[in-house]
Amino acid sequence: MRWEVIQVEPGEGIPRRFRWRRRWYPISGIQEIWQDAGEWWAGESPRWFFRVTVNGGLFELAMDPLSRQWWLYRVFD
Amino acid sequence: MVALSGFRLAMTNGVQLHVHSAFSFLDGASLPEELVQAATAKDIGTMALTDSHRLSGIVTFLKAAQASGLKAIAGATVKLPGEGQLVLLVPDTAHLPQLTRLLTHAHLDHPRGSPQVEWEMLRRWGPGLVALSGGRRGVLDRLIYAGQHAAALDRAQKLQGIFGPDFYLEVGAGWLPGDRSIRAALKSLGQHLGLSLIASSEVRHAEREDFPVYDLMVAIRHGLRVEEPHPDRPLNRELYLKDRDSMRRALGDLGPEALKTADRLAEKLTTPEILGHSRVPRLDPNPETAWQRLQQLVWEGARRRYREHWKAVRPRIGHELGIIRDLGFVDYFLVVEDVARFARQAGIRFAGRGSAADSAVAYCLGITEVDAVARELLFERFLSRERAETPDIDIDFDARRRDEVAQYVIERYGRERVAAVATYQTFRARLAIRQIGRVMGFPARELDVLAKSLPPLSLEDMVQHFDDIPELRVLGLTPASRQILAWAAKVEGRPRHIGTHLGGLVISGDPLELVTPLERSAKGVEICQFDKRDVEALGLLKLDLLSLRTFTAVDMAVRSITETTPAFRYEDIPQEDPAVYRRLQEADSIGVFQLESPAQRALARRLQPDRYEDIVASLALIRPGPIKGNMVTPFVDRRRGREPVEYLHPDLEPILHKTYGVVLFQEQVIAIASALAGFTPGEADQLRRVMTHARSPKEMERLGQQFQLKATARGIAPEVSAAVFAQMVGYASYGFNEAHAAAFADTAYRTTYLLEHYPGPYYTGLLNAQPMGFYPVDLLVTEARRRGINIAPLDINTSGAEYRWIPKRQAIQTGLQAVSGLGADNACQLLAARQEKPFQHPGDVLRRTPLHRDQVALLVRVGAFDAVDPDRERWLESLLGENPLGLVPSQPGVPWTIWQRLFWEYRILGFGQTAQALHPWRETLRNQGFITCQEALAAPPGSVVRVAGVPVRPHRPPTRSGRLMVFYTLLDETGVLDASLDEAGYRRVGHWLFSGDRPGILACSGRMERSTMTTSGMTAWPPRV
């Protein structure tokens, strides 16, 4: 789990491309979307997760819907 | 309603067929009525309730759905061992028994608390039901998620083989990881097998924001801390009741097809019609024969009860019988009579209580002991054509023998037709605090202190008024503790698990498993899945066979009395014995049934009862309602002649004369409405019920207009009818059932007689029947001593299993069962071994009985071997020290001090055999200026006193002014002193009485008023540093 803050260009409710290590990655497909409740007892808000394919690579992105903050959550090598 | 629900279905487009309520017990957060409310708000037209292995929520669900026009479907979620869950839906009323049978076997064929359904059971009872694959915890999803697609295909084929086209592949809208790939696999499975995909949200809570409550419940269920993950703990807040748009969004491209399937199935399924059908057993298949049998029994009883006057009661009995027959309760009365007859023949003490005592038929049948005719009680309070509800007949039995009666019922009516009534055990404040606190990771010991400090308020109120509650304030709660309270408040009142009703049995005309699933209670009793209210809605006959420990005490007392006075008969106790009333007037009634509390004794001092009716009135007066309604003082003043008895209208005199013009009983309201406004008795009872439950001023105003209109039409002056109605309204929220008071008064009078004339045997009975009554053993023993009764200590060679009355020594001897941690079986084994020869040594007990060393040590510590040799230290040394075999004589020990003796006696027996706990401290206390409880009672009114004692039963009852008032009792070696503490005092020192670590002895000061101390100061004794 990386939790690296990234920049994302959203499409219609789903991400279209994201910028990581000074490079934009266009998203070619979304394999899964799920929600995680987070540590609600500690005041954390729920987050949405997207498992996306990018030019042969597989990534998981996370988003806080309240702050619109995006993270790169996981990179599948 | 049918047309209405059809309309809603046509106009709405939401369907949810996999919904768990809080009756899934820790696997669902919302109550059925909350789910129905949410469904209505979200335009959902059809909803199925599919709780895990149970139908307990179905009655509430059906009623709420009917009221809101929602189409309600019955179902359940079941677990296939090692495979996952499956949702089963009932397509129509005819197929409900299949599900109840299946659920019954799921429970009864497996260990308690682990119901499950094997494939064979599904094959047997499944066909005809509708099955959904169960969502993410379902049989198929689990295999697919694990990549076992071949196994998933196999299970889908098996389920298709059982349910045919009525097996559906459930696609979830829960936004869980893996949903998309599972949906894709289910789609191809469906195409391969020709099965339909159906949309589901696998609902666990009504609204998204209810998720924390659900999550806490799941954590409690699995014993997890809040931060611990678990496969059954969903990762998100999405298992809520979704509307059509939210479903569509979550299901993606499968949405249209899966939602359409749900719509089609919803149209096909019908609501089961299970409410309101009578299922009363028939003792005789021919109704006419049963009717004749009931008449015969009643008239025989009438001749026995009323002797030569029986013809005079014919009209009344005929009237009651007519209503009983018209309402279809002939068999019900025959069943209750049958049970009462069994108890009588078996010599089991019993008495009918409650409104059944309003019935002369019940009196003639020997079910109750209250003469409804002589007391002019109104039958319609018990049963009326207008109400047409199943009457409630509650019978108290000697607690030791209540199960014999239950066993008789099972044998008489058949095991398959009888079961115990369930209770839905909800999260109470203390339990919620303990369980939520554990989830949050706090130690049990701390939670215990917090839980024991809770006042009798809802947690919600505590959260809001936290700083005004001294027992919480003194704890100095941290933000974390406040958080526990806040979260516990969210689960408080929600069902947690199923329990067994204390006395309720259902008896069904049909085999019960056709009506309700059965399961096993902790004690191994078969219980139905419904509580007493739902059982009635299902048309089942409910009998309340209650355990009353007072009857146990009475029975034991009577046995002791007849050993020396063989002619004594409890049933022949003389009425109106002046000595009985003297005892009550002196408020010396600790141990008396229902009249021993401080409030009752305080009333007795004021009322000075000298006749039976005073007892009946006392029982009705000390209730929250009459106290709040300020009825006690007017009643007492009128009764004592200090205030004139006046009636607003002459017609009220015959109704209210026995209560001196005060409206005290429910029956009186019915009679007033009949006499003044011409209501039929049944209508009048309905008015009473509405008045009792109506809370809005508008509703009351409407009732008042109705009453006055009718009264005016009968020539009553409007101002009189308005005043009478105002009097009835004043009564409305607190009226008491006279029949019930009269039934209890009989036992109250007789137990006062026993206490007055046979205190030794009666106290012996009370001690043996513990736990019961208002006071602990320590207090009862002190009271016995005050009456000159000796306490003979436990003796290994002379004590019986129970406490025993020894007339020659005027002593109660402690019984072996009083030893905490010994148990009845061990006591019996010990007695059996003693029959061979007396015990010489603790080692002797170890050798000849199954008692283990620690249990024998308990006996030594309470002096059971003192008669052999009082050197307890030496006995313990031989038992637990270096010569455990007892083969080598031990060295003589140091004799125990009285404090040592008392420490162990209180710890093991709950009282001091040697003396009461305060006794050895008396000299010290005198030197510090403390007087005894008896000296305080003898002090002139207005005296300021200082008393130290053991605090007993502190409580905060409702008061007339609504202000908070605390009552408690202090106990020392001379007896008891009742005391009160006002609201300001409670805020200052209330924590000494109510906090979780209450001191054993309190030092109190205050002013004496009417034999009660008004407390001004309080602290622990000896003072805490």
CA B160 to chain centre: 45
Determine contact, residues B865/B888, Cβ cutoff 8 Å.
no
> Per-residue pLDDT for B157 more than 70?
yes
Q: Is B189 exposed, middle or buried (0-12, 13-18, 19+ CB in 10 A)?
A: buried
| Spatial contact of B131 and B167, defined as CB atoms under 8 Å apart | yes
CA distance A35 to chain B (A): 6
**Mean pLDDT, chain B, whole residue set:** 91
Looking at residues B235-249, what average pLDDT do you find? 93
When pLDDT is averaged across residues B737-748 and rounded to a whole number, the result is 93
Q: Which residues pair with A35 in a beta bridge?
A: A48
Which of B209, B216, B237 is most worth mutating to test chain A (most A CB atoms within 10 A of its CB)?
B237
Contact between chains at A32 and B212 (C-beta distance less than 8 A): no
Segment B238-264 shows an average pLDDT of 95
Which structure tokens are listed for B438? 């554990």
B290/B260 Cα distance (integer angstroms)? 54
State residue B6's pLDDT score: 40
Nearest to B177 among A34, A40, A41 (CB): A34
pLDDT digits (tens, 9 = 90+) for B876-928: 888 876 655 555 555 667 888 999 999 999 999 999 999 999 999 999 999 99
Q: Which residues of B touch A34 (CB under 8 A)?
A: 175-179, 235-236
Residue from the list B177, B212, B238 with its beta carbon closest to the beta carbon of A40: B212
Cross-chain Cβ contact A39/B178 below 8 Å: no
Q: Looking at residue A77, what is its pLDDT?
A: 67
Using CB atoms within 10 Å of the CB of residue B181, give its burial: 0 to 12 exposed, 13 to 18 middle, 19+ buried: middle
Q: Do B215 and A37 touch (CB under 8 A)?
A: yes
pLDDT confidence bin for B999, thresholds 50/70/90:
confident
Q: How far is B189 from chain A (nearest CA, A)?
A: 19
Cα distance from A1 to chain B (closest Cα, Å)?
Answer: 16
pLDDT confidence band for B2 (50 / 70 / 90): very low
**What CA–CA distance (Å, rounded) separates B332 from B393?**
10
CA-based nearest residue in chain A for residue B483: A41
Mean pLDDT across the stretch B649-659? 93
pLDDT tier, B9 (very low <50, low <70, confident <90, very high otherwise): very low
Residues A37, B237: C-beta atoms closer than 8 Å: yes
Q: Tell me the nearest-neighbour CA distance from B902 into chain A, angstroms.
A: 48
Q: Length of chain B, please? A: 1025
**Minimal-distance CA residue of chain A relative to B180:** A32
pLDDT tens, position by position, A23-38: 999 999 999 999 999 8
Instruction: Note the residue count of chain A.
Output: 77
ipTM: 0.92
Query: What is the nearest CA distance from A29 to chain B, expressed in angstroms?
Result: 12
A35 touches chain B (CB under 8 A): yes
pLDDT of residue B129: 98
CB within 8 Å of B564: residues ≥ 6 apart: B807
In whole angstroms, what is the distance from residue B796 CA to residue B864 CA?
5
Q: Output the pLDDT for position B281.
A: 84
Q: Give the gap in angstroms from C-alpha B623 to the nearest C-alpha of chain A.
A: 43
A&B contacts, CB < 8 Å: 41
Average pLDDT over residues B686-695: 74
Query: CB atoms < 10 A from the CB of B150, how many?
Result: 8
Read off the pLDDT band of B530 (50, 70, 90). very high
The stretch B389-413 carries a mean pLDDT of: 92
Flag whether pLDDT at B961 surpasses 70.
Answer: no
C-alpha span between B306 and B366 (Å, rounded): 12
Rounded distance, CA B602 to CA B611, Å? 17
Whether residue B757 contacts residue B750, with contact meaning beta carbons closer than 8 Å, is answered with no
Contact B211 A33 (CB under 8 A): no
Tell me if residue B285 falls in helix, strand or coil.
Answer: coil
- Nearest alpha-carbon partner for B733 in B631, B640, B821, B656: B631
**Nearest residue to B11 (alpha-carbon basis) of B244, B198, B306, B200:** B244
Which residues in chain B have Cβ-Cβ distances shorter than 8 Å to A49?
177
Q: How confident is the model at residue B964 (pLDDT cuts 50, 70, 90)?
A: confident
Q: Which of B115-124, B735-744, B842-851 has the lowest mean pLDDT?
A: B735-744
B175 with A35: Cβ contact below 8 A: yes
- pLDDT category at B506 given cuts 50, 70, 90 is very high
Asked whether the beta carbons of residue A34 and residue B212 sit closer than 8 angstroms, the reply is no
Which range among A61-65, B457-461, B758-762 shows the weakest confidence by mean pLDDT? B457-461
Instruction: Burial-class residue B201 by CB neighbours within 10 Å (0-12, 13-18, 19+).
Output: buried
pLDDT level of residue A61 (50, 70, 90 thresholds): very high
Nearest CA in chain A to B251: A33
Give the model's pLDDT for residue B45.
96
Q: CB of B532 within 8 A of CB of B505? A: no
Query: What is the mean predicted confidence (pLDDT) over A36-42?
Result: 90
Confidence category of residue B732, pLDDT binned at 50, 70, 90: low
Spatial neighbors of B324 by CB under 8 A, at least 6 apart, are: B294, B330, B333, B361, B383
A77 at B interface, C-beta within 8 A: no
Which tops the pLDDT comparison, B516 or B680? B516
Chain B neighbors of A40, CB-CB under 8 A? 211-212, 215
Is the pLDDT higher at B960 or at B518? B518
Rounded to whole angstroms, how far apart are CA atoms B903 and B917?
9
Contact A33 B440 (CB under 8 A): no
Question: B238 to chain A: which residues are within 8 Å by CB?
Answer: 35
pLDDT of residue B46: 97
Residue B750 has pLDDT above 90, yes or no: yes
8 Å CB contact of A31 and B180: yes
Checking if the pLDDT of B1012 tops 70, the result is: yes
Residue numbers in B near A46 (CB within 8 A)? 236-237
Triad A14, A20, A24: Cα angle to 5°: 70
Contact A36 B215 (CB under 8 A): no
**B177 to A32: CB separation less than 8 angstroms, yes or no:** yes
- 3-state SS of B90-142 is CCCHHHHHHHHHHHHHHHHCCCCCCCCCCHHHHHHHCECEEEECCHHHEHHHH
**Is the pLDDT confidence value at B250 over 60?**
yes
Q: Of the segments B13-17, B447-451, B469-473, B558-562, which one has the largest average pLDDT value? A: B558-562
CB B38 within 8 A of CB B95: no
Comparing CB atoms, the residue among A31, A32, A46 nearest residue B236 is A46
Across the interface, whether the CB atoms of B235 and A41 are under 8 A apart is answered no
Kindly state the average pLDDT of the residues B765-771: 96
Q: Is the pLDDT of residue B475 over 90?
A: no
Q: Residue B452 above 90 pLDDT?
A: no
Q: Do B181 and A32 count as a contact with CB atoms less than 8 A apart?
A: yes
Please tell me the distance from the alpha carbon of residue B931 to that of residue B938, in angstroms, as a whole number: 11
CA angle B857, B862, B867 (to 5 degrees): 100
How far A36 CA lies from chain B's nearest CA (Å)?
5
Of A31, A36, A41, the CB nearest to B236: A36
The token duo for B741 is 């008071």
Taking the Cβ of residue A53 and every Cβ of chain B, the question of whether any pair is shorter than 8 Å is answered with no
* Closest CB to A36 among B178, B226, B235: B235
Do A40 and B181 count as a contact with CB atoms less than 8 A apart? no
**Chain B residues with at least one Cβ partner in A under 8 Å:** 175-181, 211-212, 215, 226-227, 234-238, 440
Give yes or no for A41 touching B (CB within 8 A): yes
For residues B864-876, give the mean pLDDT: 91
* pLDDT for position B18: 98
pLDDT at B958: 67
A43 CB neighbour count, 10 Å cutoff: 7
Contact A37 B227 (CB under 8 A): no
pLDDT of B477 strictly over 80 = no
Residue carrying the six token digits 């067994």 = B500
Q: What pLDDT does residue B3 have?
A: 38
Kindly list the residues from chain B whose CB atom is less than 8 angstroms away from the CB atom of residue A39: 227
Is A58 within 8 Å of chain B by CB? Answer: no
Closest CA of chain A from B358, distance in Å: 55
pLDDT at residue B4, rounded to an integer: 39
- Give percent of chain B with pLDDT exceeding 90: 74
Contact by Cβ (8 Å): B596, B773: yes
* Residue B428 pLDDT class (50, 70, 90 cuts): very high
Q: pLDDT category, B91, cuts 50, 70, 90?
A: very high
